[in-house]
Structure 1
Amino acid sequence: MKKHDLLKEGNNIIRVLEIQPNKILMIDCIKRTMPIWGESSVLDSFSGCTDEVMNHATNFTVTDIENLNADQRKAMYDRYTLIAPMLPFIADERMRSKLIGSTAIEHNISKQTIRNYLCLYLVYINITALVPRQRLDDDGKLTQDEKNMRWALNKFFYTTKKQSLMTAYTMMLKEKYCDCMSILGDIYPSFYQFRYFYRKTKKIQNFYISRDGLKNYQRNNRPLIGDGQSFAPAIGVGMLDATVCDIYLINDAGNLVGRPILTTCIDAYSGLCCGYVLSWAGGVYSLRGLMLNIIADKVAWCKQCGISINAEDWSCNKLPATLVTDMGSEYKSENFEQIAELGVKVINLPSYRPELKGMVEKFFDVVQSTYKKHLKGKGVIELDYQERGVHDYRKDACLTMVDFEKIILHCIIYYNAQRIIEKFPYTESMIVENVKPHASCIWNWGRSQMGANLIEVGAKELILTLLPRVIGKFSRFGLKVNKMRYHCDGYTEQYLNGGEVMVAYNPEDVTSVWLLENGIYTKFTIIESRFEGKDLTAVQSLQTAQRAIARGAKPDNLQAQVGLARHIETITDNVGGSIDVSIKNIRDTRKREQSKHHRDYMKGAKP
């Protein structure tokens, strides 16, 4: 018996994949299930088998690669590329499963599909076994009445109009079983036959998607089988999300402001809240604050709010090397994707898939349920807040943003350092080291393990990376950015040569911009001092107003030019024709004219 041998016993056919003392790794060629280890003695009753016998038993013929068209070859090699990384680890079930899971996520296909490709290849040990098979035409199995029923269901029932089964049946009779005068024929299927065919061929997924739409299906009906841990084999995978808090806040003057936005980053492995930002504005603005909070010293941060914590309760001051987001516009923007320049990988999940980032969704649920029960009657909204006639929760608001942020901080500290994580998948080493079931303890333990992937970055470098960027132009007048001019010493040649460059700018203050060259930021200062300290919106308003004033003055300017031309022509017309001009002794003539027109201005000055 050798590796890759085929063995048969009765109707069972197996292929030997690995041989070890007293153990054999084999795959069932008939059932095509994943390979398993078995005792060598189990194969004593098996005899040799040929490929022809197996092909006959499986009703499968391996195609010659020369007979494949371009599409079949492409599909074949694409499938082999998916399973190629797993082939060296066929005997290692744990590593094999891990690779299948990561490949499924990376290529957005199911794990079972990858297993099917892998088993198909291992059964035949031939890449051409991965060629897509031609599908059988179902029309040959259907009667004409059944074809009409299928047409009517697709045309009238499986649509967003959500028509009833009886309506679809009636429309089928009208279109398929009536003459030109709309007279029903003698022979036609009954409604009970139509309903039976519908129930026999019905697919729940198709029903939901066709009648309610794909987004509604993904949000409300799809199977919830995601596993957030698949993203995080170790520390260093942060899940980002934002939510509108269920509470109304006021300002210092006692006026209602509204509901704040909580944006946060949760480590997918330990569940630790790496950072947060509480703001009135979301989008890229809140993301900048979140990134800065992640790398901030949490002890000093909490101290600013009058809260004292131990360093080990919240020891996160580095960026996760992988950030998992949804399809929000702020996460897909160019500004946020620039964070990849720091070595951070950004993964955008599909829409309406909250279970894939269950850690951050759980965080919002725990934090909001924690403070809401203590703040009833203080602006917290209940589930019935949109119902007619219910209490107006806005009138209960009494907390300011400063007050609420202190509450949120206490909730996060509880979530990180005191909440018990009962179902965390403990490893043997964690049990030996007696790691407590708190997110902060798991985080602190995980940081010292192999695979922890955190990036140390300074606040200035981080904020410069996240600033919006625009194309700037060098000219003799300086570096022109957003219709303003900037200057930096040492760029004389660039001013003279001209050219376009990439520039980062701060919308909140146009005093400076930063030229980006080869990953290095060079600061340029604004030339027009009247714009110093102003934000971009204010500057653009000034520029727009100035242009409007200039446009308004254009008619008067044109009229003035016309009047000037008329006056000059009148004067020149009175001079008459040209005379014979003497050009001799110009200096003497000039001196005489100077004496002639010389005036003593002191005599004419009034006391």
Structure 2
Amino acid sequence: MDRPLRFVCRLGGVFRVLMENSAGGWLIECNGGPSPPFFEADLHKYERVPAPESWMSEQAMTPAQEARLQMIQPLLDCDDCIPDKSLRYKMAADAAQQYQTTTRRILRLYYRYLATGQLAQKRTQQTSKSNQMIERAIRRYYFGAKRLSLRSAYEMMLLEDYVGPDGQLDSDAPTWPQFRHYYYDHDIHKDPQKVIAREGLAKYQRDHRPAWGTSAGWRTQPGSYQMDATQADIYLVSRADRSVVVGRPYIYLAVDTATHLIAGVYVGYSCDETAVMACIEQAAMDKVGYCARYGIEITPEQWPSVGMPLEIITDQGREFFGPRMSELCRRYGLEVLTLPPFRPDCKGSVEKSIDLLQQRYKPMLRGRGVIEDDAQERWATDYRTQATLDLDDFARVVIHSVLYLNSGRLTDGKTPAERWLEMSPRLMTVDMEELHIQTLSRDTAKLTRKGIRINRIWYAPDDAEGLTIGDSYTIAYDPADLRRIHIILADKICPCHAVEIGQQVAACEVDAVYEATKRNREAARKKEMASSIAATQAIRSIVEHAVEHREPIRRVDGEQIKQDKLTERGQLT
């Protein structure tokens, strides 16, 4: 059966379109050896090309070719053989039995005719020996995990094929320009196999594979969040003691796939399941109230995302698959889509948002603890000594950067916030107090007469009804704010307040302050010991001096002692 001739260019090769429908089409390769057809979606993304030379040249059929055409004619007349592999093999087996040949030969003739319109393989002039050697050397030495340079591959070819037993180079050895020209003239440098062989399949899929369209087109409605994290390039100081450097914070982002809106953010010192839960909670809460905690006034249109997403897209990080995350997914029906490892390009929206976020604040915070590119070089500045901001200060900086990326940055004439408001988000409405308790970290502690001790801090229950001294309870707490914890009971939640701190302090800050206090205490103890030793030495010197001048004691009489005391006192005054 005659089919319309249409050819497209795919990955550098020419393919014939055999069948096409609304979902895609069936292609077959025209350049390589006989290969079966395969299905490809979105044919519109491939460029249409002219028909190959084999289809343009008209040649008279020989009797042998007419016999071959007769063998495969039943398969050519049946369109269902193209998509149906089992039917294709069955009809090929029947034809092979009828003409006393093999099924494999029937299929090869069928594939060749579909791809080239020919029934006999075109004979090409054999390449010269030198070209064969060059091709083999490139495939063997340059296309390899050792990643030899092209010049090294050329030298390996000479050593392997053109150096005799006497160590002399043959006169017919290809020159380096010939080797290099063959590599570029045959477009070997464009071969995807070069990157796969030298860098690995993951590198090719991430940085070199064709990527048509946009990532936003992956999801057509807001409510599918891509999540990822990074360690911020800045050192912070403690909120309890600004002379103590507590390290670098982590930033978690939840970015909507369809609109590129940053729907949730977490800034803190945790990089585990607690941080993921806090980012999801922040994504679900009202952003006006959240920003008000940091003294930032916004309108709902500037950050419009409120509600629990239906889907989270992330990599295979362990923090996304903990027991509390599983409990949250079961409770709210949240789906987690896992991407392959080492493929950040699959969640490009959140990766680029993290990059844009740091590019926004780093230039304005240089000299205030920001880590520069020369951090690992010799004689580089110790950026820890420049730390100025605490966690609250840095969180405000991040919030302002997020507000700019959401409602100030234009992409295709609109901001992400404007796109969000134009669409219909798929979000769940949840009880924020219940969600907050579920996202907190868990621990177990015993209630004593002094209270409960967690993270080196004592807590007292706001209401001790139902609590028994000596029993152990499940504790829920926020590592970023240790002013309050919660005792989880079967029928209620009992809040507890810290009795030692009066401001918001994170767990790592408590540890840093504790270590600093411990070092100060050790220094004070050394000073105390030195002072004690000095006092002991002075006392011993006084005693020794008194012993040297000691005289025999006369008869002791109580009345005489009183009289001598009065006399001594008079001499002192």
Task: Calculate the TM-score normalised by the size of structure 1.
Answer: 0.50
Q: Write the distance in 1 (CA, Å) between the matches of 2:222 and 2:259.
A: 7
Is 1:287 the counterpart of 2:281? The answer is no
Segment drifting more, 438-447 vs 130-139: 130-139
> 8 Å contact 1:335–1:467 — kept in the other structure?
no
For residues 73-472 of structure 1, the aligned pairs below 5 Å read 112=46, 126-130=79-83, 133=111, 142-177=127-162, 188-201=173-186, 202-204=188-190, 205-215=192-202, 225=212, 227-251=214-238, 252-253=240-241, 254-331=243-320, 336=325, 340-341=329-330, 342-351=332-341, 353-417=343-407, 419-423=408-412, 437-447=414-424, 452-459=425-432
Shift of 1:277: 0.9
Q: Write the distance in 2 (CA, Å) between the matches of 1:158 and 1:128.
A: 37
> 8 Å contact 2:287–2:300 — kept in the other structure?
yes
1:299 and 1:511, CA in 2 relative to 1: closer, same or farther beyond 3 A?
A: closer
> 8 Å contact 1:227–1:356 — kept in the other structure?
no
> 8 Å contact 1:238–1:323 — kept in the other structure?
yes
Q: Write the distance in 1 (CA, Å) between the matches of 2:154 and 2:16.
A: 43
Q: Write the distance in 2 (CA, Å) between the matches of 1:262 and 1:59.
A: 50
Shift of 1:239: 1.5
Q: Write the distance in 2 (CA, Å) between the matches of 1:245 and 1:443.
A: 27
1:175 and 1:291, CA in 2 relative to 1: closer, same or farther beyond 3 A?
A: same
Q: Write the distance in 2 (CA, Å) between the matches of 1:411 and 1:276.
A: 11
RMSD: 4.9
> 8 Å contact 1:174–1:182 — kept in the other structure?
no
SS at match of 1:407: helix
Letter paired with 1:126: D
Shift of 1:309: 3.0
Shift of 1:151: 2.9
SS at match of 1:324: strand
Letter paired with 1:346: V
> 8 Å contact 1:228–1:355 — kept in the other structure?
no
SS at match of 2:82: helix
For residues 507-546 of structure 1, the aligned pairs below 5 Å read none
> 8 Å contact 2:285–2:306 — kept in the other structure?
yes
Segment drifting more, 218-227 vs 198-207: 218-227
Q: Write the distance in 1 (CA, Å) between the matches of 2:200 and 2:250.
A: 29
Shift of 1:226: 6.0
SS at match of 2:139: helix
Q: Write the distance in 2 (CA, Å) between the matches of 1:30 and 1:218.
A: 25
> 8 Å contact 2:237–2:247 — kept in the other structure?
yes
Q: Could you tell me which runs of 5 or more consecutive residues in structure 2 were left unpaired when the two chains were aligned.
A: 7-14, 23-28, 48-75, 86-106, 116-120, 443-473, 479-484, 494-506, 508-573
SS at match of 2:365: coil
Q: Write the distance in 2 (CA, Å) between the matches of 1:141 and 1:466.
A: 70
Tell me the alpha carbon deviations over residues 76-111 of structure 1, each in whole angstroms, 9 at most, x when there is no partner.
7xx56x76xxxxxxxxxxxxx5xx79xxxxxxxxx6
Shift of 1:206: 3.5
1:284 and 1:513, CA in 2 relative to 1: closer, same or farther beyond 3 A?
A: farther
Shift of 1:446: 1.7
1:179 and 1:334, CA in 2 relative to 1: closer, same or farther beyond 3 A?
A: farther
> 8 Å contact 1:218–1:352 — kept in the other structure?
no
Q: Write the distance in 2 (CA, Å) between the matches of 1:165 and 1:371.
A: 43
Q: Write the distance in 2 (CA, Å) between the matches of 1:219 and 1:378.
A: 35
Shift of 1:291: 1.3
Shift of 1:258: 1.8
1:460 and 1:154, CA in 2 relative to 1: closer, same or farther beyond 3 A?
A: farther
Number of positions where the alignment pairs a residue of Structure 1 with one of Structure 2 = 377
1:184 and 1:440, CA in 2 relative to 1: closer, same or farther beyond 3 A?
A: closer
Shift of 1:278: 0.7
Shift of 1:235: 1.4
